[in-house]
Structures are given as C-alpha cells and as structure tokens.
C-alpha cells in the first residue's frame, strides 16, 4: 500500500510541475486524489474491525431472530361498523329535571318522546305497545346523578332492584328479582336480556345496555309490550347501537 502511494505521489509531482498545467486544475486533482486515498484507508480499517467482531458482540435481536417458515403470522380482524337502516328515524329528547339528553333511531311506525315525567317508545301502529326507557341517571339517596359505577350490568341492576340506591322516604324500596339473564351480541358490543319478577309477581323482559358510562334500560310499559307478539324486541339491538346519551347539567 505504501509503495503504491509513494509511486503515485511521485508521478503526480512530475505531472504538476509542468508549466502548462493550470493552478486551479492542480488544486482540483489534489483534492480528488487525497479523497480517494482517505476512502480506501477507511474501508480497509472498517473491514478489519468487522473481521475482529465475535458473535457475542452482535446485537441481541440478530442472534435471537426466528426465521422459521412455520412462525405464525400476526392475525388481524376487521369489525364491520354497524349501520342503521336508511328508513329509520332519529329522535332526540331531554329530561330537564335530571339534565339528561338521549338520541336514538327507531324503525318506521315507532316514536320516542319525553312525556314530562318519563321517556316512552311507542308502536304508533297500535298505540297500545308502549316501552319505558330509563337509565342509571335518576334521583336517589345520593342526589340526582349517574348511579352506574362500571361494575357488572347484571349485579348493578340487581342492586337497583334491591333498593340500594332508593331514597330513604320511598315506601317500597325493593322492586323485584332477576330470574335469568342472557348476553346478546350487537355489532362489536352486547346488551343484556333479563327476566325480572316484580313485587306483584309479574314477570317481564327487560333490556340493559351501557353507552357513555350510563346504563340504558328498556322495559314494557303496557300489557301488549309484555306479550310474545310485541313488535319492538327484535329491533332492540340496532336501537341500542344508534343510542347516544349525555348529561346536560
């Protein structure tokens, strides 16, 4: 390497001593020459350093990399966003006393309104199938607030039926017992279908769903709604998916 470099330097000196060699050209050639020499030396040093590396000095992720063709590939799943039928109508109403606003969509023939004391879903085709809509926002023993604490929906509703949140002056604190419960999927979430026996012995089907940290409850408010011929129950899952709620106070 040294011999080649000396020879090149001697040849370059002779070439640069010529009177007809321009000064700027001389500077340019010298720059290129020393640049090439520096690059050659650095590459040889780098190669020597790599040759001296032991396997233990290599990064850990290179040593432990699994290149097996049988290595499982990460799985991905796409949850299709639920869609509300185009012919459904959206309703919004507010309970000014509790400071609670609800928006939901219903199929043709159904309506939703706040009557002044409660929310009602009505089958307008008969006007006798009525469903009560309530939530975990109500006036209880700790004032008017959202009483849902994020626990099991079934356990929370059992506590509500047992009168745990009832005001001290309520005559009948216990409201009934849960006989059975089933979880039903809707979109990427779920709701509960409960069989509840009230204090009079009447057994009804109730539906519970959580949205925005609030429990939403549909329960029959008329005799026809409690029968097997009720038209609303098949739509419950989609209605829940459309539901949006917010506290306004």
| 188 and 230 share one domain | yes
- Give domain status of residue 72, yes or no: no
Cα 133 from Cα 242, distance rounded (Å): 14
Write down the pTM of the prediction. 0.66
**Whether 54 and 132 share a structural domain:** no
Judge if 53 and 139 occupy the same domain. no
At how many degrees (to 10) do helices 2-16 and 23-52 cross? 170
Specify if 238 maps to a domain: yes
- Residue 240 sits in the same domain as residue 121: yes
Total domain count, the chain? 2
Domain co-membership, 115 together with 187 = yes
**Same domain (yes/no): 223, 146:** yes
Residue 79 domain-assigned? no
Q: What digits encode the pLDDT tens for the residues 77-133?
A: 344 445 899 999 999 999 888 888 999 999 999 999 998 888 999 999 888 999 999
Confirm whether 77 is domain-assigned.
Answer: no
pLDDT at residue number 218: 98
The single-letter DSSP state of residue 84 is -
CATH assignment of the domain containing 178: 3.40.1000
| Mean pLDDT confidence for 170-183 | 89
56 is in which domain, residue-wise?
2-63
Question: Among 208, 218, 156, 215, which residue's Cα sits nearest to residue 186?
Answer: 208
> Looking at the structure, do residues 39 and 123 belong to the same domain, yes or no?
no
Contact indicator for 209, 243 with CB cutoff of 8 Å:
yes
Q: How far apart are the C-alpha atoms of 97 and 220, rounded to whole Å?
A: 23
Rg (CA), the chain: 39
């Amino acid at each position: 390497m040294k011999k080649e470099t000396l020879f090149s330097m001697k040849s370059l000196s002779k070439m640069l001593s010529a009177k007809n060699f321009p000064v700027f050209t001389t500077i340019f050639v010298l720059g290129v020459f020393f640049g090439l020499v520096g690059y050659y030396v650095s590459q040889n040093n780098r190669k020597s350093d790599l040759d001296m590396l032991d396997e233990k000095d290599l990064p850990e992720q290179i040593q432990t990399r699994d290149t097996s063709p049988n290595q499982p590939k990460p799985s991905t799943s796409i949850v299709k966003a639920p869609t509300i039928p185009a012919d459904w109508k959206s309703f919004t109403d507010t309970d000014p006393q509790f400071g609670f606003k609800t928006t939901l969509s219903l199929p043709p023939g159904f309506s939703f309104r706040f009557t002044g004391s409660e929310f009602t879903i009505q089958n307008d085709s008969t006007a006798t199938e009525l469903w009560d809509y309530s939530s975990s926002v109500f006036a209880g023993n700790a004032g008017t607030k959202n009483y849902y604490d994020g626990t099991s929906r079934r356990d929370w509703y059992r506590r509500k039926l047992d009168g745990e949140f009832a005001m001290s002056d309520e005559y009948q604190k216990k409201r009934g017992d849960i006989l059975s419960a089933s979880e039903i999927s809707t979109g990427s979430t779920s709701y509960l279908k409960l069989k509840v026996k009230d204090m009079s012995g009447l057994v009804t089907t109730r539906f519970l769903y959580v949205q925005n940290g609030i429990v939403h409850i549909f329960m029959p408010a008329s005799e026809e709604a409690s029968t097997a011929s009720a038209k609303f129950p098949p739509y419950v899952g989609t209605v829940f998916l459309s539901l949006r709620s917010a506290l306004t106070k």
